[in-house]
Structure 1
């Protein structure tokens, strides 16, 4: 007569099972230097991305999705904290010489959901400081496997061709370490090791899902690719018309397919929000080893749309309407408060800049953006501002290709571009080609006024903002 006892046990467990079913999981896939047009459903040519396209068919594309700054550390900081990077003091790309990193006073996505008992993992590129106090295990993640910064910060850098490893190290390019937790498990990552990075990251992510499929979890998978130098495993080498770059993107697409399959295996499809996006636009100087910004101007390292507008796909069957698209402004800073709302996790007491975008995700058609204004910083300088369809550039210099782009891993040179005060309507002119400030002085005046509020709060160049917090530092 075991059945009555089994039924009683199930009844006792039922409330807990229901609670688990109501608590969503989160998988965030963040690529490196992947341009807006580097996904099939966003216009990729010469290679296919069937798994990402399926994500879009089963979810929603976001076509006006932004990073806070078109460079590695700044962008990742914003995703993980929900703040403009200038607010938390991390600009540019932190190197192996940097003595700053994410402050212990900031709350990351990992710390946010751990308040609600989530298991957390960071896999891949971190780049918020490489000293132990800045690494993921000290900032809300139970597991970490990956590189502490960009994969080109090593003695095999393409610029160093012809040098011995020792000569390269003397030039300031140290060995690249691979971490597991707080421990270095490979002190000298080689080109052969890099060929396996995407696969190894994927395997680590799948193991985490297997180990935690019966409890709420957040997985942050930050691929090192397609940042140069490009590396791809044998299973995708030479598989695309586009060449090495296309091969690399197809391996990332394979990785996404593995994640989706593992979620389905564990019955987690309908209870997991999967987000795919990139940290900034393409590194155009690398030519055929770089991606495409599609219709947008310039690329990585600029405040033009090609630098800061990135592809984004969100999938959550039964929650996000399938096969839909949203052109309202949204950004990586919005992921933090949106995850907080979905996980019923309390936000930090300090200011965050992101907005809850559940209405953009779930409503059909999507609602209006909650952002009245969005700021574009480069370093600590406010270079542009957007409100509605209007984007105003303030006078600034920016990098632009000198001539033809580079080839096969060798970069071309940059020249200094410059813009005066310029107004663009992104709806009619997404490529930012026609300055219409003379026709809309009222819009210019309004955006200038909004920009002054940004300068007061977040600063501008040598002007310190009242809302800027102290960055983390090593002694």
Structure 2
């Protein structure tokens, strides 16, 4: 009974907090046009193959996310702007390639390998116009919950980047304080602590739902950036028990050897989904998504709310417990192979997306801001690299010639420093240590095992030239010398 009373006081305090927040623009300054609300679900480290909508044989159960897919549009070729978290989060907020602002690794990842990494900007400048600030100018109430990881001190936190409310977003890349995924969280950006044992995904979903209910009569942005399914690997005991029982009947090879990048340790990659704790984390996230989606219905705003679901990089398959398999995609988080950058992307835009539709148009994190801004009738007063993907949402095609990636670092997961360009069905991958290139036909070879570089030299030359032009246009930085050894330099070509 004590915990129940405590939880009532906690939720009531959240209600009061959101109730006291008002948009920066007075109601009299906002047009009477009914603008769509926006809900963004960003799941940390969730791989493309980690949801049932993308993977019918998925070990993890994700009925709410799958249901969202059936009510909106699922993208088969959706990407993260970078194979690790902070750069992609920067892109989602600003519409920019992380290379343009030299934020090309997680904040602050400066691991060296054979060579030193490229210089790293590890704060998102307060001068950046974020998705929250763009929408606030159109009268939106704005809310953030969960993982931020875009700056080292409070001046860079969500409340100073356009969000009226911030629940739990600060410098850390995971839930590393308190009891981590279980209360007490001891998170410095949670004004109200939860009763002991409350699960973090549920806490964040409840706060998001409370905000939606309180602001249902005005346009709002609710941005729920789960800490899940990032390490530490911790699941609700009931769900862990469920998946241990489910895994007991699964047999087969769990691991295979992965390409060695540096160091003497043998690196393995998971090839079988059967990790009970990770499965429990995925399902708990899905339940939290369901709670927020139900609130949209209960608040009567479902038919005027754009819902976007995505991730920040590929699933953990080669390090940090190697809890998931991305097969048939190669690699995972920290790798510029498809397993590290191809993401779940689902968009439900009432009146625009056809329920249960599928698009193979390549989209990326850089497209979130321009798409949402266009839907809200807002102008973006800064350089962006992304485009409004509404034509794809309507079932058409996009006017885009290429997508680019640039990761001049040694990842925690063993990934290769390198860059890539995708043009149509072809993807060219360039290694930064020695300048070797590989060419893949993604339509015929999603696993990136059949290198076509020697067979198609003209295409390699054409795509490499385009990639290097992009490097120049965004002032890309590359690996640095170490111990007198010089890395390959694309600028010398």
TM-score normalized with structure 2 length? 0.75
Give the aligned partner of residue 222 of structure 1: 225
1:212 aligns with 2:215: yes
Distance 1:279 1:26 in 2: 18
1:63 aligns with 2:76: yes
1:197 aligns with 2:210: no
Given candidates 444, 450, 459, the residue that maps to 1:428 is: 444
Aligned residues: CA RMSD: 3.0
Give the aligned partner of residue 139 of structure 1: 161
Given candidates 106, 120, 136, the residue that maps to 1:93 is: 106
Cα 1:104–1:287, aligned 2, differ >3 Å: closer, same or farther? closer
Given candidates 250, 268, 272, the residue that maps to 2:305 is: 272
Distance 2:471 2:85 in 1: 23
* Paired positions, count: 402
Q: Retained in 1: the 8 A contact 2:418–2:432?
A: no
Following superposition, the deviation at residue 303 of structure 1 comes to 0.6
Following superposition, the deviation at residue 387 of structure 1 comes to 0.9
Given candidates 374, 377, 383, the residue that maps to 1:351 is: 383
Where does structure 2 lack aligned partners over 5 or more consecutive residues? 1-27, 111-119, 247-273, 410-416, 481-493
Summarize deviations over 1:14-70 as a string: whole Å, max 9, x none: xx9x97673101000001111110001111522321111111111111111111111
Cα 1:385–1:235, aligned 2, differ >3 Å: closer, same or farther? same
Q: Retained in 1: the 8 A contact 2:145–2:223?
A: yes
Q: Retained in 2: the 8 A contact 1:198–1:232?
A: no
Give the aligned partner of residue 392 of structure 1: 428
Q: Retained in 2: the 8 A contact 1:123–1:201?
A: yes
Counterpart secondary structure, 2:143: strand
Give the aligned partner of residue 400 of structure 2: 371
Given candidates 47, 69, 83, the residue that maps to 1:35 is: 47
Following superposition, the deviation at residue 108 of structure 1 comes to 0.6
User: What are the equivalent positions in structure 2 for 1:311-330 lying under 5 Å apart?
Assistant: 311-330=344-363
Following superposition, the deviation at residue 116 of structure 1 comes to 0.1
More deviation in 61-70 or 46-55? 46-55
Distance 1:126 1:224 in 2: 9
Distance 1:463 1:435 in 2: 24
User: What are the equivalent positions in structure 2 for 1:456-467 lying under 5 Å apart?
Assistant: 456-462=472-478
Give the aligned partner of residue 483 of structure 2: none
Distance 1:33 1:419 in 2: 28
Following superposition, the deviation at residue 244 of structure 1 comes to 1.1
1:451 aligns with 2:467: yes
Cα 1:209–1:87, aligned 2, differ >3 Å: closer, same or farther? same
Higher strand share: 1
Given candidates 11, 14, 26, the residue that maps to 2:38 is: 26
Cα 1:306–1:462, aligned 2, differ >3 Å: closer, same or farther? closer
Q: Retained in 2: the 8 A contact 1:96–1:153?
A: no
Give the aligned partner of residue 129 of structure 1: 151
Give the aligned partner of residue 8 of structure 1: none
Following superposition, the deviation at residue 234 of structure 1 comes to 4.9
TM-score normalized with structure 1 length? 0.78
Q: Retained in 2: the 8 A contact 1:382–1:455?
A: no
Distance 1:89 1:231 in 2: 33
Give the aligned partner of residue 166 of structure 1: none
Q: Retained in 1: the 8 A contact 2:233–2:277?
A: yes
Distance 2:440 2:344 in 1: 21
Following superposition, the deviation at residue 96 of structure 1 comes to 10
Distance 2:401 2:188 in 1: 41
Give the aligned partner of residue 472 of structure 1: none
Distance 1:324 1:289 in 2: 32
Following superposition, the deviation at residue 274 of structure 1 comes to 0.6
Following superposition, the deviation at residue 369 of structure 1 comes to 2.9
Distance 1:196 1:83 in 2: 34
Given candidates 260, 264, 270, the residue that maps to 2:293 is: 260
Q: Retained in 2: the 8 A contact 1:299–1:305?
A: yes
Summarize deviations over 1:301-334 as a string: whole Å, max 9, x none: 0111100001111113332101111111001110
Counterpart secondary structure, 2:38: strand
Q: Retained in 1: the 8 A contact 2:101–2:121?
A: no
Summarize deviations over 1:83-139 as a string: whole Å, max 9, x none: 111212322121499994110221111001001010001100000013111000100
Cα 1:235–1:111, aligned 2, differ >3 Å: closer, same or farther? farther
Give the aligned partner of residue 394 of structure 2: 362
Give the aligned partner of residue 282 of structure 1: 315
Summarize deviations over 1:189-225 as a string: whole Å, max 9, x none: 99x76x6211111111011101111100011100001
